[in-house]
Amino acid sequence: MKDYVKVTINDKTVEVPREYTILNAAVEAGIKIPTLCHLDLHDLKMVNRTASCRVCMVEIEQRPNLAPACATPINDGMVIRTDSLRAIRARRMAVELLLSNHPTDCLICQRNVRCELQSLAQELNVREIKYSGKRNKYPLDTSSQAIIKNQDKCILCRRCETACNEIQTCGILSALNRGFDTIVGPAFNLPMVETSCTYCGQCVAVCPTAALTEVNHTHKVWEELHKPDKYVVVQVAPAIRVALGELFGMEAGSIVTGKLAAALRRMGFDQVYDTEFGADVTIMEEAKELIHRLEHGGTLPMLTSCCPAWVSFIEHQFPDMVDVPSTCMSPHIMFGAIAKTYLAEKIGIDPKKMVVVSVMPCVAKKAEAARTELSIDDNDDVDIVITTRELGDMLKEAGIDLDKLPDEDFDHPLGKSTGAASIFGTTGGVIEAAMRTAYEWVTGETLEEVEFKQLRGMDGIREATVDLKGKELKIGIAHGLGNARQMLEDIRNGKSEFHAIEIMACPGGCVGGGGQPYHYGNDEIVKKRQEAIYREDRGKSIRKSHENPEVIKLYKEYLGEPYGELAHKLLHTKYEAKERI
């Protein structure tokens, strides 16, 4: 039973749990205290309480010094003022000091109007930078294919450290040097490309400024769209349609599938496709691979391989287990391979003139597309990857108002998808989709109830059993790389045994990806996106990947059998143990 105490905030008395901070109590009382470094994603278990920015300072009765609300525990009978002149001036000074060592190129900054420091300066009525002195100046790190690190815009909030070290357990980012020269970066301030960074993008997702951003590829897309000799096709991932609307003022969880297809056509793409088709093909391959491993004594457990950040994580952090993941490429890479072979042949286009653009909720997909093994005859399966945020920027740049567009369908023959493909966008979705197909292939019976609700939820680590008519499959699910680490260590140490495991690097799965619209610490947004994913599934007339007529036609006309020779050549890959840095 919780122990409650009474505190008075701005003359309002509230009763709250004893373990609360002043900030928690203020929220309970309906009183807003500005914050910057603080982050508390309760359901996703991501909490940052470094109290480094000093923006949330409050006055406590009978205490001489102001205190940071985010990190100060409450006591019974505590009397607090959040609106005293002294507290307000302290907050404004904290922001003015941050701005004194911050670039003022807001108009051309990638985070313009989406920068929390910028918003806070406006909220606190900061109209001049009063302090001047030495400014930090560091080179821009553009070494990687996925993330840009701009140390000049870092405010030392340490959110990225929390995401990287405590949530993802990658251990790439930490504080370096001391005093005014303190920075956050990899050990020895190595370029990002020389580290074991997975490019999951969770550091980007929580950064309040533009200190960490994705590599912007919007200019590349515009250039390709205006080359007369190029045939540019685009594909969009399942998680995009439940998040893009937020960038146009729609409520979190709004489904914009039809409007998304219409918008992409207006941008000038020659063909507009759905990565969900690639997800259905992935299930054909992955379910068959799992059955093959079960029947022929293959390596178990088999781990899903749709998430490139997770694949990079196991290559660097668990090199002795690189034979465990499925050899299936991720859905958008599979789609690219099919587009540049089957589709190109069908529509009479030279594959070398075809440009495949992927719109992804993920920053790591940028680095994945650049992997040399994911190509056919030196022609990359996917040429350009942009995030949900980048697509939103491009639509606004082109004057396309998503909300005003009529619904349109995706192009064919690679445009039809099933509900199983839709749920790829959330934690538990890939393995559930695989079970819908594996069940029917193993038992030879029709699966009447397609929803495996025991595989759903937001717990970081989940276990479930699926009954295949007498054969029980033990399933493991983890989202967030810290949870993945725990699960893999338990397997390695013999504490856990599974037949199949789904792992997604980002908390919540792709709906919480590093390239999605910023949620600014509101984990309810991620949950609403997840709920929308399941609504999309329920709205589909076909909900099993192996019943997709266009997928059936693809195998009949071109690929042959799932997990067969040609399918293996085009749609499967291999992983390599890599040095951890």
Q: What residues act catalytically?
A: 286, 289, 306, 326, 365, 368, 373, 510
Tokens standing for residue 479 = 């989202």
User: If you search the block for the tokens 């504080």, which residue do you land on?
Assistant: 175
Torsion angle, alpha carbons of 482, 486, 492, 496, to 10: -140
* DSSP class per residue in 17-43: ETT-BHHHHHHHTT-----SS-EEETT
* DSSP class per residue in 151-215: GGG-----HHHIIIIIIS-----EEES-GGG-EEESGGG--GGGS------HHHHH-SSSSEEEP
Please tell me the distance from the alpha carbon of residue 17 to that of residue 24, in angstroms, as a whole number.
9
Beta bridge partners of 138: none
In terms of DSSP bridges, do strands 354-360 and 384-387 run parallel, antiparallel, or are they unpaired? parallel
Please tell me the distance from the alpha carbon of residue 449 to that of residue 462, in angstroms, as a whole number.
21
Can you give 530-559 as a three-state secondary structure string? HHHHHHHHHCCCCCCHHHCHHHHHHHHHHH
Please tell me the distance from the alpha carbon of residue 346 to that of residue 341, in angstroms, as a whole number.
9
Please tell me the distance from the alpha carbon of residue 486 to that of residue 328, in angstroms, as a whole number.
24
Other CB atoms within 10 A of residue 341 CB: 18
- Check if the beta carbon of residue 220 is closer than 8 Å to that of residue 384: yes
- Rounded to 5°, the CA angle 197-201-207 comes to 115
Closest CA to 284 of 15, 566, 38: 566
End-to-end CA distance of the chain: 45
- Check if the beta carbon of residue 78 is closer than 8 Å to that of residue 18: no
Q: Which residues have C-beta within 8 Å of that of residue 514, sequence separation ≥ 6? A: 199, 200, 201, 202, 203, 204, 205, 214, 361, 362, 363, 364, 387, 506
- Check if the beta carbon of residue 458 is closer than 8 Å to that of residue 528: no
No. of H helices and E strands in the chain?
A: 19, 21
Please tell me the distance from the alpha carbon of residue 156 to that of residue 109, in angstroms, as a whole number.
18
- Check if the beta carbon of residue 340 is closer than 8 Å to that of residue 376: yes
Amino acid at 427: T
In terms of DSSP bridges, do strands 39-41 and 46-48 run parallel, antiparallel, or are they unpaired? antiparallel
Buried/exposed 38-51: b ≥16 CB within 10 Å, e otherwise: bbbbeebbbebbbb
Amino acid at 309: A
Please tell me the distance from the alpha carbon of residue 578 to that of residue 332, in angstroms, as a whole number.
24
- Check if the beta carbon of residue 387 is closer than 8 Å to that of residue 362: yes
Supply the Cα-derived Rg of the chain in whole angstroms: 25
- Check if the beta carbon of residue 256 is closer than 8 Å to that of residue 404: no
